[in-house]
Every structure is written in structure tokens, then in C-alpha cells.
Amino acid sequence: MAPVTPEFPAVPQPDEPTRALARSRHAALAKPAGSLGTLEDLGAWVAACQAACPPRPFTRPRVVIFAGDHGIAAKGVSAQPAGTTARLFTTLLDGNGVTNALASVAGAGLRVEDIAVDADTPGAKFKVRKGSGSIDVEDALSADEVAAALKAGADIADAEIDSGADLLVAGDLGVGVTTPSSVLIAALTGTEPVAVVGRGSGIDDNAWMRKATAIRDALRRARAVLTDPVALLRTAGGADLAAMTGFLAQAAVRRTPALIDGLPAAAAALVAEELAPNARWWWLASHRCTEPAHAIALDHLDLSPVLDLHIGLGQASGALAALPLLRMAAHLLSDVAEMP
């Protein structure tokens, strides 16, 4: 039986009376009013998402890495050689990757899923295919594959929330993923190709020109299906990006806050907002990454990044860097006494 594309309802916003209560509480705490700046805003956002003031401390934040390869990488748009995704995937499974280290310090659990790695990996329950199509000349996915990837992401979100996750993070892992991500962002924000082309994995000028050409050609194809978010993912996305889209949309539907990481997560968030209107209220932009398209996407979503550490890696690294600040923001509302 062919997979059915999941449908996502419009999303109610977090509890505004509780947000106002959190702001009032901050004004009464043993400190000058407004003196903690953005930390006060973050705490109010957590309180609104939980509909509780003071908010509950996060007990089970969960990071999910969506791994996948992209056919466009064969056009020389990445500094990483073929096979890098599979090697890094194994490193994360072995517990020795960047995300493992950051998650350990931040107190977050980590789940790594092979959605479209161009290799055989152990326990790949949600694998859609080996690599996605070269989007400059062909669709990334078939109709059945994009449906399967969206469902995989939504099912993973449900499984994590049902197991007690109270904060979710979507991370990427894949050679070439910044190219389709940039195409999705350019398409949905009406941005010209040259404005979204970044250095990705550290490409040189020649590779940058190849990447610009690939994005230009893929964007021509993407604009033909711009009014259909699922068709856009099929045409110019990838299985990993589609799975992240389903994950972020379902997190919002389930009223579970989520941190938006780097460029691929922001691209997936743009599509998820199209599929589940107002889902963005349940997301926090953890940081501003080094890719120009990232700022464009966050601005379109009206999300302000918490950090700007010049992080370009992805793999949930920026979100994990911001997580301790979010924990602090919640504890300020619960642990600080009111002014005597």
C-alpha cells in the first residue's frame, strides 16, 4: 500500500495569558525589571508553551538527527567527498561525534535516524531511499517517497513526545544538504538565487559558482510547484528535509516546543509552516548560522535567533549551544524570590 501524506491542522498559539503572567512575575522578582533581557523573553515563551507559570524545568529534551545524502553533491557543490555522511553517521552512533559531546553537556538525549544515507546502515527503520535526486535536473523524490518521509518525521515526533519529550530539536547530517535547503528558502521567500548561496562545508570560489548554478536551475523547477508544499519537497527538497518538515509540524500540532537549528532545519520549518499554519509559534530560533539563506528564512518566519556564534556545522550544534540558556530562563521564573 502506498504511503499516505500526513495532513496537519492549523496550530493554536501558546497560552498568551500565561506569557503575560510570566512577564509580570519577572517584574516582581528580586532584580531590576527587564534587567535580564532576552532571558526574560525566553522564560515567558517556555511558560506560554507549557501554559504554566512558573514553567516546569525541562526533564527530557530530545535531539533527532535526520541523515541523508543528496544527488546534487555529485555536481561539486560540497567540499566533502562521497561517503562522508555515512562515516559521520557511524561516528554519531558510536557516541563520538560533535552532537554527542554537546548533547551530553546540555543534558539532551540524542536519536540518529537514517532517512536517505547512500549506504547500508544498521537499524534504518525509517529509510526512504539511498540519496535523493539531483534537483537541478530531476525531482528529489517520488510522490510515495515524499509521503513516506513526511510520515516518518511525524511518527518520530509522536514517538518522542509519547515517551515524555518536553522539548524537541531537529538536526541535519548530509553532504550537499545546504543546496536544496537554499532552494526551498529562495522559493518560499521570493529570493533570487545568488542571495542564498553560501559556503556550506567550506567550498572555494569555483565550487561556489557551481553551487549557484545548481540552485538557479533547481529554483526554476521549484517555482513551477510553489503553491504545493508537498510537491515542493518532492521537486527540490530531499527525504531528510521532508522528514524534518513532518517532525517540526507534528511537534507544533502536539504543542511541544522545538528549537530550530541551522539552515536545513530553517528550510524545513518554512515548509512546515505552510503545511501547519502558525506552527512557528512553537519554535525558537536557537542561533544564526553562517549561511545567508538562514537569516532570510528566520526573518520570513519572524523568529529572532538567540545566539550568533558563527556556527556553520549543523547537526543540532547551534540548538544545543542555546539549550542551557533556555534551561536558565525557565529556572529564573521558578527559583528566584520576589522582591521583599
Predicted confidence (pLDDT) at residue 35 exceeds the cutoff of 90 = yes
Over residues 84-109, mean pLDDT: 98
Domain topology for 61-322: Rossmann fold (3.40.50)
- pLDDT digits 0-9 by tens, 182-240: 999 999 999 999 999 999 889 999 999 999 999 999 999 999 999 999 999 999 999 99
Band the pLDDT of 2: cuts 50, 70, 90: confident
**Which residue ranges make up each domain of the chain?**
16-55+330-335, 61-322
Per the CB < 8 A criterion, the answer to whether 308 and 287 are in contact is yes
**CA 231 remoteness from chain centre:** 20
Query: Residue 340's pLDDT is what?
Result: 87
Looking at the whole model, is its pTM more than 0.95?
A: yes
- pLDDT digits 0-9 by tens, 249-304: 999 999 999 999 999 999 999 999 999 999 999 999 999 999 999 999 999 999 99
Per the CB < 8 A criterion, the answer to whether 308 and 250 are in contact is no
Query: Residue 62's pLDDT is what?
Result: 98
Decide: residue 274, CB within 10 A, 0-12 exposed, 13-18 middle, 19+ buried.
buried
* 190 to 184, 267, 317: CA distances (angstroms): 10, 13, 28
> Nearest Cα to 320, choosing from 269, 297, 286?
286
Asked if omega into 54 is within 30° of 0 (cis), the reply is yes
Return d(Cα 97, Cα 172) in angstroms, integer: 13
Helix (H, G, I), strand (E, B) or coil at 113: strand
